[in-house]
Amino acid sequence: MPEVGNIASGVQPPNSLFGKYELGKLLGCGAFAKVYYARDIATGQSLAVKVFNKQKITNNSSLMSNIEREIDIMRRLRHPNIVKLYEVLATKTKIYFVMEFVKGGELFAKVAKTRLSESQSRKYFQQLISAIEYCHSRGVYHRDLKPENLLIDENGNLKVSDFGLSALTGHIRDDGLLHTLCGTPAYVAPEILTKRGYNGSKADLWSCGVILFVLTAGYLPFNDPNLMMMYKKIYKGNYQFAKWMSSDLRRLLARLLDTNPTTRITIDEITSNPWFKKGSSGTKFYDCEDEEFLVKPEPDAKTTPLNAFDIISFSSGLNLSPFFDSTYNTHSQGEKLVVAGPPEEVINKIQEIVKEDNVRIKKRRDWGVELVWQNGKFVIGFEVFRLTERMAVVEVHSRGGGAELYDQIWTNRIKPELLERRFDIEHSQH
C-alpha cells in the first residue's frame, strides 16, 4: 500500500485536498496529468486522484473536449468491471478526478512479461465483454480499448479505464455512423482506416479481438515498424495464429478479427460462443431489467448538493457544460442554468408555464421531465439537480423542431421565467 501521512490524529495534513483527501505518492505521469495515490481522510478508503493543469487544458481545445467527454461518460457508468469516478474537484489552477484505486496496475504489465493461459485470458475477456456490453447498452463506445487501459484490481478482476476518446450515441451522424478518427494504431478497426464512417460497437469488438489475441499469443496480430504497412495488414486482416491456440479460440478470434464489420461477431454471439462460455458463471452480464447495473442515486441523493465540479461548470475558465444525454443528437440545442429553489419547485414551475399548451408531459427519473409537441416531432427535455440548499441546476436539451421553434418555446417563454429565479454564480461561491 502506498504510504501517506498519518490521518488518524484528526489533524489536517499539509497535502490535504479540500480537507477530504490526503494525497500520497505519485503513481503515474503524463503530458497533461499526474495520478497520485490518495486516501479519504474520513473513511481511510484508498483512492486514485488524477490531477490536470487547468491552464494547459484551457489552451488545448482537443484535450479539454476529451476531459469533458470523460466526465460526462464516467458519471453515467456503474459496473463492477469499470473504474469508478467518484468526484471532480477544482481550484483556480488544477482539476482533480477522484477515482477508484485499482491496486494491481495495467493488464499490459502482465502480458508484457509473458503470454497468459487460455483460461486466464478467458476470465479477463469475459469481464471485458461484460463491461463493453454494458457501455454499449448505455450508448457509450470506448474507441481506445487496449491492455494499457485495462487495470487489474487486488482480487484479480479487470477494470476498464480511460474514456477520454469515447463517443456517445449523440455523436452518431445522420448516416448512423461515427466519423472521428481515433484509437491506438495496432488496435484500430479496419473500417476506421477507410475514413467513411464506422459503427462504434463493431469497432470496439475488433479491439477486444486484438486484446484477446495479445493475451493468448503474447504478441500483436498486426505489427510492423512501418505504420502504413501495419495499416495494410489490418485492412487485409493479415495475421497468423499462434501454434498453441486451441481450435475453439481460433474460431472466435477469426470472427472478432473479421475485416467486414457487417459480418463481424456480435456481443450476443460472443456470449454464446463455446470457448467464451467455459467458466463464465462468475461473470455477470448486463440486463436491462437488472437493477444491479443501473446507475442509482446515492441515499438521499435529492437533498445532496452536487460537488465542486458542478459549480465550476458554470463559472468562467473551463467550460464543462456541453453534456448532452445520449438520446439527443449533436445538432440539438442545449443549455444549463443556475436557478433559485429546490428541484421539485423548478420542475413544477416549468410545467405551470406550459399548462395551457397542447403539450404531452413525460416524467423522467429523479427530477426530470420531457415536454413533447407535435406528436413527438419536437421535444424539450429538462433535468434538474440540487446544487446547494438555495440553488439548483437546470439542464435543457431539445431534439427536432429546429432553432425557430426552440427559441419560441424555450428562449422566449420558459427561460425568461426561470431566469427570474437565477443566482449570480460568481457570488454564490463565496
All three cell numbers of 391, joined, read 440553488
Beta bridge partners of 340: 391
Please check whether residue 116 is in contact with residue 110, taking contact to mean a CB–CB distance below 8 angstroms.
yes
Which member of 40, 72, 144, 407 is catalytic? 144
Q: In the Cβ-directed half-sphere of 297, how many Cα atoms lie within 13 Å?
A: 13
* Spacing of C-alpha 321 from chain mean position: 16
Sequence-ordered list of residues with C-beta below 8 angstroms from that of 127, at least 6 positions apart, any chain: 81, 157, 158, 283
3-state secondary structure of 150: strand
* Largest Cα span, the chain: 73
Cell of 364: 423522467
Which grid coordinates are listed for 13?
A: 495534513
Sign for the pseudo-dihedral over CA of 229, 235, 236, 240: positive
274, three cell numbers: 463455446
User: Could you confirm whether 144 is annotated as catalytic?
Assistant: yes
| 187 within 8 A of 257, measured Cβ to Cβ | no
CA distance 177 to 379: 23
One-letter amino acid for residue 423 of the chain: F
3-class DSSP state for residue 373? strand
What is the DSSP code string of 341-399?
Answer: S-HHHHHHHHHHHTTTSS-EEEEETTTEEEEEEGGGTEEEEEEEEE-SSSEEEEEEEEE
**How would you classify residue 419: left for phi > 0, otherwise alpha for psi between -120 and 50, otherwise beta?**
alpha
Q: Which three cell numbers stand for residue 153?
A: 484490481
Q: Which residues are catalytic?
A: 144
